Structure 1
């Protein structure tokens, strides 16, 4: 796996297990979702707001989700963010448009925000590595 700063990467189980084995978890906030359990936006946002510890619910607001996922100040001094979606082929499989919208939002908005934009729009904002791994 490449060490580029912010990317969305398709990996297999062996690659993700190797990654998890070789990282120091002190400065990393890692979130793992099981695609078999994520059937809808509600399932996704419920898991995300719990595992990323959002201060308020995003169930009824996509904009609030974007606000919180591009804030994360409450995670403290974590230098890297990792989102792993296991069983990606099962992830929201009955709603391909929603699945595409979630992935596109991560790829086109969230990852670039943490790679560059955070320094320009947040006072004292600091870049963070944010990797998304889609595990087949």
Structure 2
């Protein structure tokens, strides 16, 4: 389990080769400057079609549902992470907390709280 693990571009390239069969999502931190930006990127990437007017709670909820999160192994690479929500530290913290909670959910909580819940690998990597 990786939550906010900072990696270099070389490490990312090695992971991309090693995890070529995984669902690998690249997010450019420069393009995520608002709650709406973050929700749109993840909704589009995971084909979550009912988040048009979503908020942080709705995003968190959808990321923890197996009917939305289909891949068994997910790697999210946040490139230019230092530019993520550059003028909104509060939103940055909320977004990263949602991702952290999602990592924990798929690592262990899903089996604890969902009947027949199955673990998934959900990793988040930060690149500056």
* TM-score normalised by the chain length of structure 1: 0.84
Unmatched 5+ stretches in structure 2: none
Please give the secondary structure, in 2, of the residue aligned with 1:83.
strand
Aligned with 2:43: secondary structure?
A: helix
Listed as ranges, the gaps of 5+ residues in structure 1 are none
Q: Show the counterpart of 1:127.
A: 119
Q: Aligned equivalents of 1:17 and 1:127: distance in 2?
A: 25
Describe the superposition over 1:40-62 as per-residue Cα deviations: whole angstroms up to 9, x where unpaired: 11111110100011131153332
Cα-to-partner distance string for 1:86-121 (whole Å, 9 max, x where unaligned): 1101111110111012112222x2111111110122
* Pick aligned residue for 2:33 from 39, 52, 64: 39
How far apart are residue 68 of structure 1 and its match?
0.7
Assess, with a 3 A threshold, how the Cα gap between structure 1 residues 58 and 119 changes in structure 2: closer, same or farther: farther
Is the CA contact 1:46–1:59 (under 8 Å) kept in the aligned structure 2? no
Q: How does 1:62-101 map to 2 (within 5 A)?
A: 62-76=56-70, 78-101=71-94
In 1, Cα distance between equivalents of 2:53 and 2:29: 18
3-state SS in 2 of match to 1:47: helix
Secondary structure (helix, strand or coil) at the match of 1:82 reads strand
Q: For each residue in 1:27-50, what CA deviation from the matched residue of structure 2 results, as whole angstroms up to 9, or x when unmatched?
A: x22211111111111111110100
SS in 2 for 1:65: helix
